[in-house]
């Protein structure tokens, strides 16, 4: 593999992928973990990107910020919306509205 942006792999596969797996599980604690994973991904999205380049068996690591503001903005909003979804599911499990009142049955 000649080019691999490690932080994007970590962001999409580990944080978002694992967070979605936790959101789909039943119970409060997996959804709390998912919300924490989604929120922690914001710092990965706006931080520097670590890139490994392999050339004739020599690995070189670069630290750059190659992504445009629009891409970073969309990635941050994706994390915020996924975290909101996880928190909304937690409220639904507790039968509460976002203010904390019980739903009228």
- Crossing angle, helix 69-93 and helix 28-46, to 10 degrees? 170
Q: What is the pLDDT of residue 22?
A: 92
Which DSSP letter does residue 97 get?
Answer: -
Task: Give the residue from 60, 52, 50, 41 showing the smallest Cα distance to 3.
Answer: 52
Contact 34, 20 (CB under 8 A): yes
Q: Determine the structural domain holding residue 63 and report its residue range.
A: 3-93
Q: What is the pLDDT of residue 67?
A: 66
- Residue 101 falls inside a structural domain: no
Contact 15, 45 (CB under 8 A): no
- Residue 102 falls inside a structural domain: no
- Residue 105 falls inside a structural domain: no
**Is 0.75 surpassed by the pTM of this model?**
no
Task: Specify the number of domains making up the chain.
Answer: 1
Q: How many Å apart are CA 70 and CA 65, to the nearest integer?
A: 13
pLDDT per residue as tens digits for the range 41-63 = 888 778 777 777 888 888 888 77
- Residue 44 falls inside a structural domain: yes
Percent of the chain topping pLDDT 70: 89
Which of the four pLDDT bands, split at 50, 70 and 90, describes residue 1?
very low
Which DSSP letter does residue 57 get?
Answer: T
């Amino acid at each position: 593999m000649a080019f691999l942006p490690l932080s994007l792999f970590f962001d999409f596969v580990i944080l978002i992928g694992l967070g979605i797996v936790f959101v789909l599980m039943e119970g409060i604690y997996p959804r709390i973990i998912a919300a924490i994973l989604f929120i922690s991904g914001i710092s990965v999205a706006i931080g520097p990107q670590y890139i490994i380049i392999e050339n004739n068996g020599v690995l070189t690591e670069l630290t750059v910020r190659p992504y445009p503001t629009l891409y970073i903005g969309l990635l941050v909003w994706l994390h915020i919306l996924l975290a909101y979804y996880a928190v909304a599911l937690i409220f639904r499990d507790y039968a509460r509205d976002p203010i904390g009142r019980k739903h009228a049955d």
